[in-house]
Structures are given as C-alpha cells and as structure tokens.
Amino acid sequence: MEGYLFWILILQIFFIAYRGRVGYSHGVQKDLQYNPKNQPHRTAYHFQPPKNWMNDPNGPMYYKGIYHLFYQYNPYSAVWGNISWGHSISYNLVDWIHIEQAINPTEPYDINGCWSGSASILPGGNPVILYTGSDFRNRQVQNIAVPKNLSDPYLREWIKSDHNPLMTPMNGIDPQFFRDPTTAWEGPDKIWRVVVGSQIKGHGTALLYQSRDFVNWTRSHRPLHFSNKTAMWECPDFYPVSVDGINGLDTSVQDTGTKHVLKASFNDRDYYIIGTYEPETDTFSVNPDFMDSNVKLRYDYGIFYASKTFYDSAKRRRILWGWVLEADGEPDDINKGWSGLQSLPRSIFLDKTGKQLSQWPIEEIETLRRKEVNLQNKEIKGGTMFEITGITASQADIEVSFHLPNLDEVELMHPEWLDPQFLCSEKNAATGGVIGPFGILALASKDLTEHTAVFFRVFRGHDNYVVLMCSDQNRSSLREEVKKSTFGAFVDVDPVEMISLRSLIDHSIIESFGGEGKTCITARVYPKLAIGNESHVYVFNNGTESIRISNLSAWSMKRAQIFPLHKRRKPEID
C-alpha cells in the first residue's frame, strides 16, 4: 500500500482534469427524449440509460423490496471510456429509476476505470460489491465497496474500503488478465469463495479465492476450473441450479439436488458448462467441457455478452441479464447519443433433460402487453405468408406454435452440417426447402425490401429429427454501413409434437426464444423504412410442405417507465 499512499492526492487532482478532457473530446450529450422521427432505433421496453455508453450488467441484486441493476457506464459520451458503475432501481424489473453512479474512478486502485464485478449478500442481509479496478499502473486489481447508509432503500452512496485493493495480480497472474469477480458463495466451512476471470499460460481460468471476513483473501492452490481450448475468461459466473424444478437457488446452496453452472465470456460469446461441485474439495467436474463437443452450449446464439445472473429471493428464481451491444458504427452511436442495451431479464433454469439450461422472459414483461391478436388452427401452404395485423409491429410480443402434419419427405441432414450458423447462412430464409424455412418476418417494410427473418428448418438425422433455428439479418436494412449477420443454433425439440417461437420486437432489437426457451437468439437491426408505424410483421412458409399454426398470440407492447429519480412522467395512454 506504500505506493498507493503517495499517489492518492495527486491522482485525485489529475482525475478531475482527466475526466473533463476525455468527456469533452466526444462532446457532452444532452438528455435524450424519445422521438420516433429522430430516434427510431431507441427501444421502448428494454433497459438503457437516458444517454451515453453502457456495457456489462454488474451486481444485480434484490435488497429490501427493491431490485438494483448496476452496469458499466461512461457518464460523458456514447463510446467506451471513463468507466463507472451506473445504477438504476426498480420494483418490478420493468420500470426503472436512474440514480447517480454508484462507483466512480477516484482512487489509485481504480483511477483508470471501475470495471465489472458482482454483488453479494452477507449474513444479516448486508450487500457488498466486489469489482475490478484498473489502477494507476493499468493493472487489474479487485476492490470492495459497501453502502454508506443501509437505511437508504435506494443504496445511493457506496464507500470504498481502506483495505483496497483486496486481490492483486501476483505469482504468475498477468496483470492484464485478472478481472470480473463473481458473486461470492459460502462453503460448509463458513469460508467465502469467489472466482476471478483470468488467463494463465494462454488458457482460460477461473481463479479461486477464499476469505473468512470478506476482506482478507487468499488464492487457492488450484483454480476452480480452466480450459486449454480457450483464452481469457471474462465475466465468469458460477451458481447452482435445481435438478427437480425451475425454482432458483441462492448462490451458496450446495446439496445433492443441485448441479452447478460455470459461465465464461470469450470470443465475443457467452458459453456455459454444467457439472458437479464438491464444496469440501472445491472441485468442479464436467462432461462435456468448454469447446469439447459439436454442441457448444451458449446462453444466446446472437448478440449477447458479459452476462450476469442473480438470485431473486422474493420470487425464488434466478434471473439473467446480458449486454446487447450495437451493430452499427461508433459515428452512429455518437450521433444518436447512446450505445448499448440490456437484454430483457430472463428466468434461467435447468432443462428437464438435465443437459442444458432453458430461459424465458420474466413474467413481469407480460404486464406491458395490450391489444391482443389471436388465431388458431391456421394452415400456411408452401410459398405463402400472411401479415399479423392489429398490433404495433415495431413494439410487439409474438408467440406462435407450429404443427408439422407431414414429415415423410423431410430433407436428410448431411454429416458435415455441424455448424448451425454456417448452415443458416447457406440455407437462408429465401432458400426453399421441404419442411421450412418457416417463421416470422419482423421489422419488415410493406414491400419486404427490409425484413429480419426468424425461422426454423427440419432435417432427418441418423436416428432422429434435427431442428435448426435461424435469425437472418441480411435484408434487415437498406443502410450499407450496419452489420447484417446471420445467427443459428440447433433446438433440442421433437418436431412431431410442436415447434414454438416467441419473439419480442423493440425497434432495433429482436429477442427470440425457440422450443420454449431451449434456444435463444438476439439480433440488432437498424431498418431505414420499417420504423415506427411503417413496420410490419408476417408469418411465412417457404417450404414445399404445408405447416399449421396451432396457436398464435400477438400483442402490442406499452412503453416501460424509465426516468431519473424524482422525475415523474405522465401515464401512457393506450
């Protein structure tokens, strides 16, 4: 700590000048008021700050009746930099109140940024935050902050400990690869554990630390887990899931009725593995491991990164948040004054098969539904489509169940078709097949020159059917400068029974859930024509075989109420 003491006063003075200089270089943003003409791609019911840059969700928690969401935030512009912890609160995870930043880079151990971390609830119910600081030497170190006033239900002020930094990169840890502490869990020996993401000798690693008092931490002699098939693990997450139902579990639960999930963010994707954790020895056994098999498990097969879960004790569920970054360019972000969304909060639980996780938007999202449209038992012949009318297509929630009456002539699945994303690119929505492509065309212009296709195809494998789910953005926008990706994944469902799709559409984001949440794909799109009331949504079938809609329900979605503390907004009129 000797070197830190010398720099405290100097660096705090320079921080003020540094903050102003960096913020000024990109221009100070004005508060943004939603206007469909000048902000056609700003969302209506996804979480985002009023302005500026946002990335990773940090430290979500439920405390004394209030949900807290922290996030990586640049208070001064719509590009990455000056990273602080933004802070917003909610009573229902739908409507949000923005309050002041919780943690800012003011000390030698975090002067170059207050990076990602997690919240933990200690015995007695007191919350603490562990976060990564980029220090005055650009090393990554782990720090702690606690609420200044526990009687403040909003937890508006946080105090950094005099003991910071608690964990520093020593004994072979690269100071550039040591970040993002997890939520802590308490073992049967009453010792706390936490994982920090790292890269040791080029291998992704979950470093394990232990503490009795949450201040003095000791590195375990071996990591919780590592992989020689990946590099740096960012934003790790480690938590239990029940094998007997969908209820969530507190992070410290360890019993015979649980499995454990380890998530790591790398290669711009969020991968996870499921295994058995032995708390007495701190061993985590998995099969398959990261990147071991053809089926590489991911939370989301689209744009979704640096995610974080938390246990909601009020409703006994585990909730997942993920950063959904932009797919346009930095000049666009500066021009519109903001960058980055959070996904809709999702309940996450172990699937009945025990082989993967399933996700579903939390039930509170349904309170935004209005103007329902419903139809049943509708045949869609090959090469046809129809429009879903009566809803606001740019701000909608659509659930549809498909029944496939004839699987006799289904196409054969070739053994080399192992990469679903490549397969979706080769067999896009415009390429006809036998069973599929079928699904929806979202954020579509009237003449279909713009649309995003979310669809399925069915193939016959060696001894089963294979269902492919795709999200094709190739025709999503007439704008040349935006990314137009194609995403894909296989869905572990039996098409003999039913194939379900739910898509939540919100101006520039489409979150889709296939097979009741077994497979999720999130897309960012920036239409030029299909905006606001000029947007349409269609159900289509480009296969030769007819399919049948067992049930379709669609709703317009109201705007979530998201505003600064003490500022009131008039109720929305339907």
* Strand, helix or coil for residue 532: helix
The CA angle 308-310-314, to the nearest 5 degrees, is 155
Using one digit for the tens of pLDDT, what is the confidence trace for 221-256?
Answer: 999 999 999 999 999 999 999 999 999 999 999 998
Q: What is the pLDDT of residue 16?
A: 35
pLDDT at 17 over 50: no
Burial class (CB in 10 A: 0-12, 13-18, 19+), 353: exposed
* Token digits of residue 115: 């990076």
Mean pLDDT, to the nearest integer, of 329-340?
96
pLDDT at 463 over 90: no
Calpha distance 62→312 (Å, rounded): 6
What are the structural domain ranges in the chain?
A: 53-361, 369-557
- Which class is domain 369-557? mainly beta
Sequence letter at residue 291? M
Q: What is the pLDDT of residue 33?
A: 47
Residue whose tokens read 């699904």:
439
Nearest to 412, CA basis, from 471, 359, 465: 465
Name the pLDDT band for 36 (thresholds 50, 70, 90).
low
DSSP for 389-452?
Answer: -SS-TTEEEEEEEEE-S--TTPEEPPTT---HHHHHHHS-TTS-BSS--EEEEEEE-TTSSS-E
Please give the helix or strand (H or E) that residue 506 lies within, else none: strand 499-506
Calpha distance 540→489 (Å, rounded): 20
The H helix count followed by the E strand count for the chain is: 3, 38
pLDDT at 530 over 80: yes
Calpha distance 537→345 (Å, rounded): 24
Calpha distance 454→189 (Å, rounded): 49
Name the pLDDT band for 35 (thresholds 50, 70, 90).
low
CATH of 53-361, one of 2.115.10.20, 2.60.40.10, 3.40.50.720, 2.120.10.60: 2.115.10.20
Q: What is the pLDDT of residue 160?
A: 98
Distances (CA, A) of 280 to 190, 261, 273, 276, 284: 11, 18, 21, 12, 11
User: Which residues have CB under 8 Å from 500's CB, separation 6+?
Assistant: 399, 400, 401, 402, 493, 514, 515, 516
User: Which residues have CB under 8 Å from 16's CB, separation 6+?
Assistant: none
pTM for the full predicted model: 0.93
Using one digit for the tens of pLDDT, what is the confidence trace for 144-187?
Answer: 999 999 999 999 999 999 999 999 999 999 999 999 999 999 99
Enumerate the active-site residues. Answer: 56
* Token digits of residue 220: 């375990």
β 114-121/127-134 pair status: antiparallel
Q: How far apart are the first and last CA of the chain?
A: 59
Whether the CA torsion 224, 230, 232, 238 is positive or negative: it is negative
Q: What is the pLDDT of residue 565?
A: 77
